[in-house]
Amino acid sequence: PKFVVWFRNDFRFDDNPTVYQAFREAEKADGEIMFIFHLHPDFTSQINLSNDYFFQTVETFAGQCKDNGMKLHILSGSVQKAFQLLFDKAGSVHTVFCAEEYTSFAASRDEEARRIIEKNDASLVHTPGNYVHQPQEIIKNDGRPYKVYTPYSRRWMQKEKPDLYSSSAADIQTRYERLKALDETSEREWTEIIKRCTRPWKRLGEEAGRNRLEHFCQKVLPHYHKSRDLPEKAGTSRLSPFLRTGALSARRVYEAADSKRENHTSQGPEAFIKELAWRDFYTMILYHFPEVETKEFQEKYRGLTWREDKDLLQKWKEGRTGFPIVDAGMRQLNEVGWMHNRLRMITASFLTKDYQMDWRIGEAYFREKLIDHDPASNIGGWQWASSVGTDAVPYFRVFSPVRQGARFDPEGAFIKKYVPELKNTDKKYIHEPHKMNDQEQKKAECIIGKDYPAPSVDHKEERKRAIRMFKEIED
C-alpha cells in the first residue's frame, strides 16, 4: 500500500510531523511513500507577488526532493479530478497525510478530498499544522477559547513545548529509496505556471530559511526588542515568508530563540517569542471564531458604514496618499511583497481611519501582495488596526501618520529609500513635505502636486469623522 504525503504549506523536511508520521506508518506496513502537491485551480488564474513567491518555493522544494532522489508529484485540476487521478495512477493508497489548516477554504477543500479518498477505501489523516501550539491546545480552564492575547500568551508560555522531529532531506532519502512509489503524473500545467513566476527571489526554501534563522539569532535577536519597531533597520527576523510556506518549522524557530533566552540577552528573545505567540493566537481565533474571516470580531461594529472612493483607494494602493510614511510602506509592499509590521499598522490604520474604508478591502489587497500572507494574522492585523478585532486599538486612538513617521523613521531614511521623490527633502520636512515653501521645494527638487502629491485628506478632519463613524454605531 502507498502512504501519501500531501504537501500544502509545509515545504521542508526538518520537523515536519506529516513526513514523520507517513514514514512511520509506511515502515510499519512495509508500504511505499509518495509525495504530492495539488495545484488548486483557485490560485492559477492570476500570478501576483504572493503566489509567485509561493509557487517558486514549491519548485525549490521539488528540486530539493529531486536532488535527494525523491519526487514531488504535482497534481492539477479540481480536487475531485486530482485525487481521482491519484487513485487511478497510484493504485492502492492506504492513507493520505496532510498538515491541518484552519481557513474555511482549507476545510471545504479537505472535506472534498476526504470524500474521494474514502470512496477509494483510503483515509485522510491530519497532522499538526506549523504552529508552536495548535489552536485546540490553549484553552481556558472552563474549556472556552481565549478572546484576549495577554492571558492566552501566559498560558502559551507556560505550556510544555512539543518535541521536534529533527530530520533532513538526506535522512528521509535513505528511507524513501526503499519505499519509493513509481508513478509519474502529468505536470504540464505546473511547467506553465512556473514559467509565469518570474520574480528573482533571493531567499526561498528550507535552506535559505535555516540560514536566515541562524543569521537572525546571532546578529539581530539580542537587540530585537529595541530594533523591531524601526523600519529602516533590518531589526526583525523576516522569517514570516518561511513560516508561511512552511520552509521553516515554527517549533524550530521557537527553540532557536528560546535557547538564547538566558541571562543578559533575554529581552530580545522574550520579545520575539511573544510575537510567535501572536501568530498562534490569531490562528486560534480563526479556528474558534471562523466568522472573523469576513466579519468583525466585535459584533457591535458589524454595521459600520465605510466610505467608498475608488480614487482614494487607488492612491493608497499605489503609495500616493501624500503622507510619506504611508506611501513608503505601500511602495515597499508593492516592490518586495513584504512590509514592516509598524508600517502594516500605519497603512492599515490610514485606510480604515483616515479614509474610513472597509478593512476587508485592505485585507484583500495585502493578500495579493504579501509573500508571507497568512489568513489568520492578516485578518487579525487588519481587525486590530481598524479597532474591530480582538485586543484592538480603541477607535478613538487614531494614529497620526505624521507623528508615527517622526517617531519610527526620525531621519526619514526609510521614506527616502521607497519614495525617491523625497530623497533631497530636508529632515525638517520629510514627514510633511507640503509645508516646504516654493524655494525649499525647488531646492529639494520636489514640487508638491507635481513630483509628490499634497496630502490627499486633512488628517485632523478625518480623525474626527472616523471617531464619529464608530460613535454613531456605539450609541
Residues found near ligand FAD in the complex (CB under 6 A)? 228, 236-240, 243-244, 275-276, 278-279, 282, 341, 344-345, 348, 366, 370, 372-374, 377-378, 380-382, 385
In this structure, what C-alpha cell is assigned to residue 378? 492578516
In this structure, what C-alpha cell is assigned to residue 117? 479518498
CB of 298 to ligand FAD, least distance (A): 16
Q: Nearest Cα to 287, choosing from 57, 160, 100, 49?
A: 100
CB of 340 to ligand FAD, least distance (A): 6
Q: Is there a binding annotation on residue 224? A: yes
One-letter amino acid at 371 equals I
Q: Is there a binding annotation on residue 238? A: yes
Query: How far is residue 303's CA from residue 347's CA, in Å, rounded to a whole number?
Result: 23
Give whichever of 204 and 370 is closer to ligand FAD, judged by the CB atom: 370
One-letter amino acid at 112 equals E
Q: Is there a binding annotation on residue 23? A: no
Give whichever of 83 and 366 is closer to ligand FAD, judged by the CB atom: 366
Which residues, in sequence order, are CB contacts of 392 under 8 Å at separation 6+? 297, 298, 383, 384, 385, 386
Q: Is there a binding annotation on residue 374? A: yes
CB of 256 to ligand FAD, least distance (A): 11
Tell me the sheet residues that pair with 124.
Answer: 96
One-letter amino acid at 162 equals P
Query: How far is residue 245's CA from residue 41's CA, in Å, rounded to a whole number?
Result: 18
In this structure, what C-alpha cell is assigned to residue 457? 485628506
Give whichever of 87 and 338 is closer to ligand FAD, judged by the CB atom: 338
Contact 471, 464 (CB under 8 A): no
CB of 368 to ligand FAD, least distance (A): 11
Q: Is there a binding annotation on residue 242? A: no
CB of 187 to ligand FAD, least distance (A): 29
Give whichever of 53 and 97 is closer to ligand FAD, judged by the CB atom: 53
Give whichever of 10 and 374 is closer to ligand FAD, judged by the CB atom: 374
Q: Is 346 exposed, middle or buried (0-12, 13-18, 19+ CB in 10 A)?
A: buried
Q: Is there a binding annotation on residue 83? A: no
CB of 394 to ligand FAD, least distance (A): 16
Q: Is there a binding annotation on residue 279? A: yes
Known binding-site residue numbers: 224, 236-240, 272, 275-282, 372-374
Give the residue numbers of the binding site for FAD. 224, 236-240, 272, 275-282, 372-374
